[in-house]
Chains A and B, each alone.
Chain A
Amino acid sequence: MNLDRDPISSEQIQAKQNFDAILSNYQLLKKPFFKSKWFWGATGLATLGLVTVFGLSNLNNNIAYAENTTLTNNQPLTSNLPEDTPCVLPVVENAVSYEVHKVMALEGATLKLKDGSIIKILPGSLIANDMQEPVKVKTRVFHDKASAFLAGVKMDVAEGAFESAGMIEIRTSQNNKEVKINPDKPIEVSLALHKPSESFNFYYLDEKKKEWIDSPCLFSDRVQKSPEENSGKFELVQSELSTIQKELTVNQSQQQELKIELPTKEAYKISENPERIFDLDYDLSDYPELKRLKNVKFEALSNQKNFNRVINTTWSEMDLSTAGNDRFTLTFSNAKLKETIRVRPVLSGAEEQSASELFDKVKGDIDQQLIHLQSAERELKRKEAVKKKQLEKLVSDFELNTRLVMQENQSLSPNNSVQLSQATATFTTTRNGFFNADKPIKYPKPLPFQLAYVNNGNPFSPRNVYIFDQGKDVRYTYGIRNKSMNEIGLNDGEQLLIVIDAMNRVAFAKVNKKYLQQQNFGIINVTLIEQDNINEAYIRKLLNEQQAETLALR
């Protein structure tokens, strides 16, 4: 790594531009005539024509094939599903079975699913009609393409098709009626993932809008089995919290200091209450010692209750003494009365004006700084609360993990395949449905020609086409809102294509873009899957997928 390398100026770069050199190198690279388009355009077409004629004449059922091909190509290929089609449309009902738990709504429960996912239901989380009867909690986890496909779960968003790290479906019911989840007591789910969570997002399926909605969750890539690992994270958050708290202390003490510095009107000799200002009318020859206070106005301190009495009486004697802090004590007396009042001198006229301006300026500056500090304090308090929550979460995760590790040690036998997964997505929910850790993968570019499908020489008109890319671990779906049948594309390498027609017949074919491109047309011979074979095991075999348990669990 280099730090602050000398920059190269635009002029230096422009001086090196040489388009003529690029052009002449390009001329040298130009294809020889036998690789040029015109040559192959003419020769290729002639050859292709001959090959097609001979090829088709040698095919079994050649006449039927040719007819069917024509028929198939005339089929409209944009047969998208109707708008009211549900977004979860199982290929075969109950092809992917549910794990069923019974939970008493008043008691709650912590359910540990076969793949290691955990569902925490608090007492009162489930709002059942009959609180004395158990609530059925049905769950399915999806850790492979086969199960998600058979369950008919839509696996795409506007940005592409989903590559999933793990998906769960949760349904709570009582007497076949959905049981709602208490919004104040959401269910907490820790979904086991079969891939590291990095670069995955989290979504729930809005079955009304028929789209996946981005949703918050906490990804964790490793169960904190060792206290050392946990403490590393814990220490980091703790040190972040301590930094925030230090900043908070500094902020608060700065505020305190500023509040002390806030100017007072008394310090600036400005009046607090003009109605309590008075001056003394006396003969200077009688009080020569007050010469220095001539023209000085006084303001009675706010706690001097005898103010009105003092100013409404005519006095024959007066005595002035200092009372500290620029304050004075005035004692007035006459034949009948004697009153003492504490006062402070105040400025008047132009002097008061400029003192007031200065006061306002200093106070305004300090007020501004205080507002800034107070807003920073609020932000720091917010950050502090977040860090505290993170710490609590780490502590509870650690406790939970410790408990699970203990359970694992106690319960695992060589025959028991249930183990803890390494990565989890933890989220809370107040709804039933599908939740999925996914990332969108772009659809491949559409092929330059349309595909047509035949089965044993008969045309097959698919309602949907699914292309499973083994390399990218993703299923591309066509014939849906986002992707029409005209947009089918293929990535490199062999892909599994599954087609379903309007009669729910399912067929498959292995396809290869290279091969299709060489042919420059796309007739795909698909093999029908017998109804009895439309199950997880069969589809998994086609996809070369392992058992879900072995994939998801370690």
Chain B
Amino acid sequence: MSINPVYHHTNEKLQQELGWIQRAKSNPEHFGPLYRKYHEQIFRYVHQRMDDTELAFDVTSQVFLKALKNLHKYEFRGVPFGSWLYRIAKSELYQAYRERQAKRTVNVESIHLFEMIEDFDDEQSENNKKKLFKAISELKEEDVQLIELRFFEKRPFKEIGEILDITENNAKVKSFRVLEKLKKIYFKN
């Protein structure tokens, strides 16, 4: 399983980011480098979870606006600034679902389904792809969220923990259990 390289920052990168944050805290105009660094990632995260592309851009802007507004509260916890942005994005998404009638969607790529089928030691056929697609749609929202983060977006457990506000170990356990659950539904179907 590939690892999202953006999350795995070197110490130097983290320090550089911390410098940007400190400067942005004293002058919002210095928030630019952080905006440019994370805009695409946050947009993709939001867009992955909704149908409307324009609305996804809109929500992404809201995320950065909120981040800028609350930057004085931000505390460095040894992980990239992105994990804080993801948490804001998560909350903005829920707000969009509630208040802007945005539809929660799950966007799946065939390649990821085939990868999962391979993990299940099953034949990579169109029929099995449909079967897995159906099995995912039978999962609960919070389970789908884990599948999305881990298997479609290939995020490391540490980052999943940061986004969902759970420990890394808990993210591992939960992902494992969801996968087992999915496997059962898949093979039952």
> Does B65 interact with chain A (Cβ within 8 Å)?
yes
With the chains together, A160 CA to B170 CA distance in Å?
A: 11
Q: Please, could you name 26 A-B residue pairs with CB atoms under 8 Å apart, sorted by A? A: A4-B110, A5-B107, A8-B47, A13-B39, A13-B40, A14-B40, A16-B43, A17-B35, A19-B31, A19-B32, A19-B35, A19-B36, A23-B29, A26-B65, A159-B168, A160-B167, A198-B177, A199-B174, A199-B177, A201-B169, A236-B187, A240-B187, A439-B170, A440-B170, A442-B165, A442-B166
| Chain A residues with CB under 8 A of B187 | 236, 239-240
Q: Does A21 reach chain B (CB closer than 8 Å)?
A: yes
User: B184 contacts A236, CB within 8 Å?
Assistant: yes
Within 8 A of B (CB), among A21-80: 21-23, 25-26, 29
Looking at A16, A199, A439, the one whose CB has the most chain B CB atoms below 10 A away is: A16
**A25 to B66 CA separation, bound complex (whole angstroms):** 10
Q: Whose C-beta in chain A lies nearest to the C-beta of B105? A: A2
Which residue numbers of A lie inside 8 Å of B, CB to CB?
Answer: 1-5, 8, 10, 13-14, 16-19, 21-23, 25-26, 29, 159-160, 198-199, 201, 232, 236, 239-240, 439-440, 442, 445
Residue of B with least CB distance to A247: B121
B69 pairs with A29, CB closer than 8 A: yes
Contacts of B151 in A (CB 8 A): none
B28 interface contact, C-beta 8 A: yes
Q: Are B136 and A1 in contact (CB under 8 A)?
A: yes
Min Cβ gap B110→A in Å is 5
A17-B39, A22-B68, A159-B169 known; A2-B174 Cβ under 8 A: no
Given contacts A1-B133, A23-B28, A23-B68, 11 further A-B contacts (CB under 8 A): A1-B136, A3-B108, A8-B44, A23-B31, A29-B65, A159-B167, A159-B169, A201-B169, A439-B170, A440-B169, A442-B166
Q: A160 — nearest CB in chain B belongs to which residue?
A: B167
Rounded to whole angstroms, the CA-CA distance of A459 and B166 in the bound complex is: 37
Q: What is the CA–CA distance of A508 and B39 in the complex, to the nearest angstrom? A: 48
| Given known A14-B40, A198-B177, contact A1–B105 (CB-CB < 8 A) | yes
Known: A2-B107, A239-B187. A21 touches B47 (CB 8 A): no
Query: Contacts A3-B133, A4-B110, A17-B36 known; A22 to B105 CB distance under 8 Å?
Result: no
Question: Distance in Å from the Cβ of A445 to the closest Cβ of chain B?
Answer: 8
Q: Please measure, in the bound complex, the distance between the C-alpha atom of A105 and the C-alpha atom of B165, giving whole angstroms.
A: 48
B20 within 8 Å of A (CB atoms): no
Q: When the two chains form the complex, which single residue of A14, A18, A26, A240 contacts B28, counting CB atoms closer than 8 Å? A: A26
Q: B119 on the interface (CB 8 Å rule)?
A: no
Q: Does B98 contact A (CB under 8 A)?
A: no
B15 contacts partner chain A, Cβ-Cβ < 8 Å: no
A440: B residues at CB distance < 8 A: 167, 169-170
Residue of A nearest to B171 (CB): A199
A residues less than 8 Å from B145 (CB atoms):
none
A21 contact set on B, CB distance < 8 A: 61
CB closest chain-A residue, reference B188: A236
Q: How far is the CB of B179 from chain A (nearest CB, A)?
A: 13
- Asked if B53 is at the interface (CB within 8 A of a chain A CB), the reply is yes
Q: CB-CB < 8 A to A29: which residues of B? A: 65, 69
Residues of chain B contacted by A2 (CB below 8 angstroms): 51, 105-108
Contact residues in A for B165 (Cβ distance below 8 Å): 442
